[in-house]
Structure 1
Amino acid sequence: MRTGVYPGTFDPVTLGHMDIIRRGAKLVDRLVVGVTTNPSKSPMFSLEERMEMVKREVGEIGGEIHVVAFDSLLMDFAEREGAKVIVRGLRAVADFEYEYQMAGMNQQINPRVETVFLMADVSLQPIASRLVKEIALFGGDIHKFVPARVRDEVVARVEKIGRKGS
């Protein structure tokens, strides 16, 4: 069985993430969506909330997709999950430079795991979780960027923490 890992913070999960999950799941027998916390980011949602969001959204895709939290080096997580492939999404040239460097470092850490890059669908390339949160915090409409239930959760969280510019 060929296992792949698609890691990310998914804060919140976007339509771009969902596109990569759907397409990545076709490349492997088992896809593990690894939800982590990036110490350099301030998450809007807790790890548990992000896990639930992703689980709910991938549940509609079908296939063998598992959502697992991790707090370790990606290559250690991939090894624990038995993955031979890391799936990464690319939106733009700036993504490529960062991802290329990470893939090189990961190859040095564990040469048994390959990194595969998937280009985001053209209509989804500009979407970034960071921008979705910023738009929502300023009262903008995010329905084009996230699944409907995720939009409702983001809007509710913004109402709870308070909109900027009001």
Structure 2
Amino acid sequence: MICLDTNIAQLLTFDFWDKRADIFMMTIAGIALAFTVAQLRSGRRESRRATAYSAYQEYLKLCFENPDFAYGDQSTIKKNGKTNPKYPWFVSQMLFTFEQVLESDKSDNEWKTAIKSQLKMHKWYLKTSNSIERPEWRPELMAVLNEALKDTREQHQEERLTTTEQVTD
């Protein structure tokens, strides 16, 4: 019975495992909890991403249905000094969609870049929009809007400087 006197033999006894069962169960439960939390976070992230894609898909559908509005061409939208009455509604829907996208997926800079690109096409209208002047939109959208309009303002200032320099030369 020398075999039972060694430490290795203790691993074969019921008493050894019975005393340590609580520790093992707690460890397994902790690992299971960690996997569950990771799955929940992943599911939430994917759900938000799907919401953003769905909202943007609706915007693209709106653009497909209204190609004249989608490009934001002022000469097509504004005739005889009057803006097409449907265009402000198009812009409102566009801004609402962008707000939903940014709210759903705040950390994705690719969305911000895409939205900024779209906003720049409609800058001529957005600069005069009452909706932009009032704080009706979420801060995330307002930041992208201001950035898009700021870039536009800086570009116009550079163009004016270039024109002024050419005139003086």
Q: Same fold judged by TM-score > 0.5?
A: no
Greater fraction strand: 1
Q: Which has the higher contact order (CA 8 A, sep 6+)?
A: 1
Structure 1 length as normaliser, TM-score?
0.23
Higher-Rg structure is 2
Structure 2 length as normaliser, TM-score?
0.23
